[in-house]
Amino acid sequence: MAEDLDKAIRRIWQPAPFIGAIALWSVSVLAPLAAWADGDAPAPPASGGKETVCDDRKDDDGDGMTDCADADCAAAPRCKPGQGDERSDDACSDWVDNDGDGAVDCDDADCEANGIQVCRGSWKGPHEGSGAKGQVGSDEELPDLGNGQTVEDLIGKGGDKDGERNDEVCSDGVDNDRDGKADCADFGCRFDPSVTVCRGNPGMRFSVVAGISQAYHLKSYKLGDDKMDTEFSRIQLRSFGPMPMIQDSFYLLSLRAEKTPRLTFAMFQMPIGNHGTYLNINSGGGGLSAALITSVAKQLLLDPAYYVYSAFEQGNGASVEMGGTAMDGKIGWRAFVAGGAGRSSGNVGGRYFTYDNTNYTYAGGAQAVFNIIGTLSRFDTPFLYTTVPTTLGLALGVKYDQRSQERFVGINGGGTFRSGRLVIMAENYSKQEFEFDSFQTAYVVQVGFLAIPRVLLLAADFGEYLPGEMKNPPAKLETDLLRQLAERQWRAAAHVYLVRNIGLLSLVYVDRTVANSKVGLPANQERNLRLEAQYRF
């Protein structure tokens, strides 16, 4: 009875921590009484004793703490973390951080795997019972795992016939191998890692950002004067979340479904070890700056300041990145290598632009983030909806980049300050180009002020791109060299939150001056006013 009470308390703990805490406090009184009532256990020892055996699943000293949960066992070899996996009922209920990842027993996501029962509390859900479609067997049907075994090793054992191991037969409502268990009740469907229809949803999300725009072009060198325009200006579809069965992982697929639908960014990130280091494989769009790969819902002036990035962040076909933290999170770091042109109108894969390329395109670089106050992430949103605590972070990165016509070293630096209703961001990108011997730089400063929390956000930015003179110009300008023209731009915006932070009405004014590609002619000017209704969820 005492062991049953201990097991019941462990089940309560996961779904209801508050109730579980009370129950654990009470066990010091109830467990000894229950054992005495059973007549199969000795009376609890006198107060002041110690937990002498740390792996017998008993509260030897009667203080309410069993085995490795008792401070008396802190130095016991059995209770040391990092000695195995957290992937069985035994390992998920022994009060030990078996895999050394900082999460103990039911706090570890590994203990949510199929076949592990001790962390499921009193909720039975679709994983109990037998035979019905979408269900699996009860606790009694699952044999004990041997040393070093995983649940995959149970397929074909214990009355299970190995005949259901794919998504099709695992969702047809038929007991295909005639072992008495159909679909997700069958061990093959439950435990074969290639079967996906019987897995729980690990928290995958789907996101939409869309906007309808009414523009009034006060002056446009492309459209002429006084032009009106109405359009469904943006629609971004994103799928993101953890990858199944990989703890602390993340994936992202971002699609722009506009005039030319295209998959703009793909990312898959997995942890390395237990200290926050990660491996990231992505589609090559994110170098030193994250401005071109973050969601359009995070653009403070609705669009990035393209003049800061177009000459410096030109995209690759694919990239591999490693990163992590140091000095207790005060410094974040990342390093990457990338290859391939990635020049397909922003699309993942393929080439849309055809050039007489003389160089294989690749890049490699590293970046450090210094968290002076609080913690800064390159994917933080500048849209303030409510007041925020003070954060100050600086980022500095360097890369070597070889393009179809260029070779250069680029340096990117920036900072973000957030406090209360205010956010200030600044970024500079500079490069020394070797093929044509030119120095180029660009910068932007953006400010946001939450005038009325949950109602009105004001924003503005100013910046320039200064291409510098080519001392050794090419015989023919191609690729992005055609667009490397001096530019100056300032913008102002008012964002009104209509439905929480999901529905947004924005009024944006843009004043832009771009040098004329024909020498001696005046610069081109563009001024427009834009009203955009946007929803994002």
- pLDDT tier, 81 (very low <50, low <70, confident <90, very high otherwise): confident
pLDDT(29) > 90: no
- C-alpha 524/C-alpha 169 separation (Å) is 64
Q: Which residue has the higher pLDDT, 231 or 261?
A: 231
Strand-pair category, 205-220 with 487-499: unpaired
DSSP codes joined into one string, 397-424 = EEEEEE-SS-EEEEEEEEEEEEEETEEE
Which domains, and CATH codes, for the chain?
A: 2-134+142-151 (no CATH), 135-141+152-200 (no CATH), 216-233+274-536 (2.40.160.10)
pLDDT at 440: 96
**Beta-carbon-side half-sphere exposure of residue 297 (alpha carbons within 13 Å):** 22
Type of residue found at 223: L
pLDDT at 115: 67
CA angle 426, 282, 233 (to 5 degrees): 60
- The length of the chain in residues reads 537
pLDDT at 443: 98
- C-alpha 172/C-alpha 175 separation (Å) is 9
**Beta-carbon-side half-sphere exposure of residue 13 (alpha carbons within 13 Å):** 21
Q: Which residue has the higher pLDDT, 333 or 35?
A: 333
pLDDT at 284: 85
pLDDT at 199: 76
Give pLDDT tens digits for 406-457: 899 999 999 999 999 999 999 999 999 998 999 999 999 999 999 999 999 9
**In the block, which residue shows the tokens 């066990």?**
27
What are the residues facing 531 on neighbouring strands? 214, 507
**Neighbour tally for 447: CB within 10 Å:** 18
- Cβ pair 468, 440 in contact under 8 A: yes
Q: Please state, rounded to an integer, the average pLDDT across all residues of the chain.
A: 81
Minimal CA–CA distance to 245: which of 223, 220, 270, 225? 270
Our measurement of the distance from residue 415's CA atom to the centroid of its chain's CA atoms, rounded to an integer in Å, reads 22
Minimal CA–CA distance to 371: which of 410, 416, 424? 416
With a pLDDT cut of 90, the percent of the chain lying above it is 38
- pLDDT tier, 260 (very low <50, low <70, confident <90, very high otherwise): confident
pLDDT(36) > 50: no
pLDDT at 114: 64
- Cβ pair 423, 448 in contact under 8 A: yes
pLDDT at 8: 43
pLDDT at 27: 41
Give pLDDT tens digits for 135-170: 334 444 577 777 888 888 888 887 888 889 998 889
Give the pTM. 0.69
CA angle 284, 285, 287 (to 5 degrees): 90
pLDDT(84) > 50: yes
